[in-house]
Chains A and B, each alone.
Chain A
Amino acid sequence: MKLRTALLGAVAAMGFAPAAFADRGTDGEVKLTFPQAVSIMNPYLSGGTKDIYAASMVLEPLAGLSPEGVLIPKLVTEIPTVENGGVSADMTSITWKLIPGLLWSDGTPVTAADAVFTWQYCTHPEGGCSQATKYEGVANVEAVDDSTIKVTFDGPKANPYTAFVSALSPVIQKAQFEACLGAAAPTCTDANNMPIGTGAFKVVGFTVNDTVSMEANPNYRDPAKPAFATAMIKGGGDAESSARAVMETGEFDYAWNTQIPPDSQAAMAAAGKGEFVVAFGTLVERIEMNTTDPSADLPEGERSTAKHPHPILSDIKVRTALSMAIDRSILVEVGYGAGGKPTCNVIPGPEGWASDNTGCLTQDLEGAKALLEEAGWTDTDGDGVRDKDGKKLKLLYQTTVNPIRQDFQALVKDWWTEIGVEVELKSVDPGVFFGGDPGSPDTFQKFYADVEMYANNSESPDPESYLSQYMCEKAPTPESQWQGENINRFCDPAYDALIVELGTTTDLAKRQEIAKKLNDMVTKDSMTVIPLVHRGTLSAHSNALGGVQINAWDSELWNVADWFRVK
């Protein structure tokens, strides 16, 4: 009897014990493709989205963000708040508690010392860490004990969830990166390409700018995950070929950033092998108005500076008329299809932060004409172009070389020509436009044009730092080597005061209210920024891949541990 029980027990153990682990690695391989290949697996040295997303399968932050933009614990037991005592009442420190027994993929324990080291690594003055803003305002990170991390700020911080939150700020292993501090950071090729992490996968092979090969992390904290035994990311080509590999040939399971023309989207979706998914974050394609005079007649060093207000665009009526003449839904239809929607806000989301500003959505050409008349711009010589005091209403409209942007330029030029504005178009190589070289006349910061179009976004759902870009002091000037984020040199003391207020406000509802007010000040109240399209990231996944939940606030691959093969 005893023997029988023992045998039964053994059989049961054999039957059940593996069952608990049976889910990990049972679904074979998951194949991802990125239109730009992965260059490095260390997000602190890259900054390119492709690298950050790829690294997010391996490296994890203490807390991430859900598709709704809500904080979710990753390596910690819970999200610290003022209520649960994790955030000090004066908002000057935050204390995180690591999950007990957490292991790196090499089997060593994750401790608070790793987080402290991560902070030292990224804030080292010679390291050139691309995520340094995540640790801005952090005075100290200390290990209270092996599993308790205390982050102290140099003052009250309204939003303490920056350091170690989201895929931009993951925890790296001290043991692996110890010799890579500061100037030595780029020389640690092996660590940068094959970091040891806590994520669902671990890197087993890396070919620069081509393929990342991964295996399920044997020490992942959920023994049943990930469902896939191996994963690979193949990069290169373009958005079209990535989309095709998922939607038409079915070679890949997931393709990130498949922004292709709307008609191609429809054709590929018709093949029935997969579907497109869109993540709407805060990316807004906009036209920025230059509030200063970019005229080439001005001496170098005074062009596009606050010394000379713009002769035409300083009048809010002109700016409003230009916005009214645009039909945003046509722009979406032509350029983005499912990947975009018309917007009037610079902060289009998340819900709660977005203003209910919809006034710009209907095109009103007649109204625009009337406004220009009112502003004194009339067509006196009958050549179709309005003029005032002998000066023509003529604008230089610049953007980067990009097929969608050139379509937009052509459409907007048509509408503006119709209301009597002469438009000259210019397109600049994106490498130059965004390159920030102070010696080049064509950077978007220098803004040697009347209006310019590009896209920008807030990197976190809380838009404080994003909105602070429009403060007076952040205008690019010759003195600042033309560096600065306040591209249109917008300057309103009331705006700056509100930003300061936002920095000290901790109540969420109040913060949102201020953010909406700030949003309205640069958009509908002053028409300094004309938002056009709220752009999403269009990605594609095959019908055979389950569990995909697209996320605009964190890495798109945030829940890769939950992905599975649809059988």
Chain B
Amino acid sequence: MLTFTLRRLLLAIPTLLAISLVIFLLVDYAPGSPLSDIPLTVPPDVRQKMIEAMGADQPVFVRYLLWLKQFFWIEPMTQFDYWFGTSYMEGEQRILSWQTRSPVFSIIGERLPQTLIVIGTAYLVGILIALPIGIYSAYRQYSIFDQAGTLVAMIGFSVPTFFSGTLLIIIFAVWLGWFPTKYDTTLEVTDWASFLEQLRQMAMPVMTLGLANAAAISRYMRSSMLDNMSMDYVRTARAKGLSERTVVLKHVLRNSLIPVVTVIALGIPSIFGGAIITENLFGVNGIGAALIGAIHASDLPMVQTLAFIFAVLIVLFNLIADVLYGFLDPRIRYD
């Protein structure tokens, strides 16, 4: 198992380098300019100076190599300096966002907590809703519960979040006035009142995303359960006289979870990626909102760095899902 993991990790290095180059070229050759938001009243010569100050006038490969150096050497070392109080990277140019002129990694650091809390909670809520629904729907296939579950799942699947989110805002914020429409990032949870406030402002984005997540996962859970319910070993278990509870929750569930765990693990990078639409809609300043803002502003260093981090996460969680298989299914061994 260890050699397998190591081999996969080593293989990931050329893969990621290739990905980083492709992303860089794609973003660079995409149309748009970092100055398109600047009013037309700023004359061309001033624009040219601004471009030069950003370093955006350098040739592509120079900027790519600089970015590689910054990403793999300067940024980790800066973090090292921060942890151990050293100053190896003093005066070195970190990856700076063109739009805000701040270091990209500080922006990510500022935003990651919001994304993890809101999107992570929504994912967790989605899983917690989806698993019982999926299990019971499969166990009582074609019952009213199953039909209702299917309906909800179809709604969750097919209604886009920009619609369901706006609907929630109109119902719960405009009509009922229960929840705020804009997420307050400066809120610090220090006591019950502020904790309650935090729950209130998280309610709508979590509901919006939770529904979408639950829909997908409950479908996987249901179909995986159905596949296993008709297996011979289930019949054997029942014939042995095991209780229905043991049969379903021990034998069937454990086997059915294998594909579902893969789906859940592969979905985790998307938590870090944030939710572009939902974050924008509710003013959650997460990674997704940062990404779309950077794309609009043609903020190449920001887009490049974020996209590459997503790539790393996806490669990583694919590996984790593979390793998890080994634990869930004793038949699977990689050595």
Which residues does A use to contact B, with CB under 8 Å?
33, 37, 39-40, 45, 47-49, 125-130, 132-133, 183, 185-187, 189, 192-193, 205, 207-211, 213, 232, 234, 236-238, 241, 244-245, 248-249, 251-252, 429-437, 440, 442, 456-459, 466, 480, 483-485
Contact = CB atoms under 8 A, between A and B. Distances in A.
B32 A185 contact: no
A442 B41 CA distance: 20
B31 A252 contact: no
Contact of A236 (B43, B110, B285): B285
B182 A436 contact: no
A160 B97 CA distance: 35
Interface in B206-243: none
Given A207-B285, A237-B281, A133 B181 contact: no
Contacts of A252: 182
A33 B290 CA distance: 17
B181 A432 contact: no
Contact of A133 (B46, B103, B110): B46
Nearest to B41: A459
B42 A183 contact: no
5 contacts: A128-B52, A132-B49, A187-B101, A249-B180, A483-B47
B33 interface: yes
A232 B186 contact: yes
B296 interface: yes
Contacts of B37: 47-48
A28 to B, nearest CB: 15
A103 B200 CA distance: 42
A189 B103 contact: yes
Given A241-B181, A249-B180, A436-B44, A187 B93 contact: yes
Contacts of B47: 436, 483
A236 B174 contact: no
Contacts of A430: 36
Contact of A456 (B40, B182, B296, B298): B40
A127 B97 CA distance: 16
B32 A435 contact: yes
A291 B181 CA distance: 49
A553 to B, nearest CB: 13
B31 to A, nearest CB: 4
Contacts of B44: 436, 480, 483-485
A238 B169 CA distance: 14
A129 B45 CA distance: 11
Contacts of A130: 38, 42, 46, 50
A48 B111 CA distance: 22
A186 B53 contact: yes
B203 interface: no
A193 B106 CA distance: 13
A366 to B, nearest CB: 36
Contact of A186 (B96, B173, B182): B96
Contact of A434 (B36, B48, B107): B36
B187 to A, nearest CB: 10
B293 A37 contact: yes
B85 interface: no
A234 B183 CA distance: 9
A209 B290 contact: yes
B158 to A, nearest CB: 23
A63 B147 CA distance: 69
A29 B98 CA distance: 32
Interface string B239-281: 0000000000000000000000000000000000000000011
A209 B106 contact: no
Contacts of B293: 37, 209, 236
Contacts of B93: 187
Contact of B31 (A49, A127, A431, A466): A431
A20 B173 CA distance: 41
Given A128-B50, A466-B41, A485-B40, 19 more contacts: A47-B35, A49-B39, A130-B46, A185-B101, A192-B101, A208-B106, A209-B107, A209-B290, A210-B185, A211-B185, A237-B182, A237-B280, A237-B281, A245-B181, A249-B177, A432-B31, A433-B36, A442-B31, A457-B41
Which of B41, B42, B110 has the largest number of chain A CB atoms within 10 A? B41
Contact of A48 (B38, B51, B110, B186): B38
